Amino acid sequence: MSVPSLDKPFRFTAGFWVAFAVLAIPTLRLAQPWHWELPVISKIAGTVFIPFAAVVVCYCPVMFVMAVIQGGKEGKEIASAFIGAIAGAAVFLCAVWIVYGFDRLPSWLAIPAVLIASAIYSRGKTNSKTSHHCRPRPTSRRLRTHPSRPHPVRQVAES
């Protein structure tokens, strides 16, 4: 099983479907959606969604951790941006919970928490990319001229 790159979007690979098949039996046995007293379409949706949700909850974090471990410095920078985003949203929500109380928390305050997390994560990813790729390019020695001499490219263009 290959570890996906952290910069690419998630894809349904063969490993994901193997995990789906392995987790389908225990999750369906525990939930038993066919015994629900709901319409047939809800039973079908439960039969498909519950194993899928179990795979997302179990498989995706494991793949993220494996990609961070095998990603080297870039993986650690992305992991730190991710942890910073979670911490930023948690600090905001803790401050809101202190002001409003946990049981009277307005649901609309989840939007700023998500925006804070997104801003911190994108800022962390931007900083990790620019720290590697924004070094000044060395100029070619052939193009370096003494200030008193005209530039070689300009001489050709003028003649």
Same domain, 16 and 78: no
Backbone angle region of 32, left / alpha / beta, with phi > 0 → left and psi within -120 to 50 → alpha: left
139 located within any domain = no
Same domain, 11 and 66: yes
Same domain, 3 and 52: yes
d(CA 133, CA 74): 12
124 located within any domain = yes
Same domain, 51 and 89: no
Q: Model pTM?
A: 0.54
> Domain residues for 6?
1-70
Biggest CA pair distance of the chain:
90
154 located within any domain = no
Computed on alpha carbons and rounded to an integer, the radius of gyration of the chain in Å comes to: 26
Instruction: Provide the domain count of the chain.
Output: 2
Same domain, 63 and 4: yes
Same domain, 101 and 82: yes
- Going residue by residue through the chain, which has 159 residues, state the pLDDT in tens, using 9 for 90 and above: 666 666 677 778 888 888 889 989 999 999 898 888 889 999 999 999 999 999 989 888 888 888 888 878 888 888 888 888 889 889 998 888 888 887 887 888 888 888 888 888 888 766 655 554 454 555 555 555 555 665 555 555 555
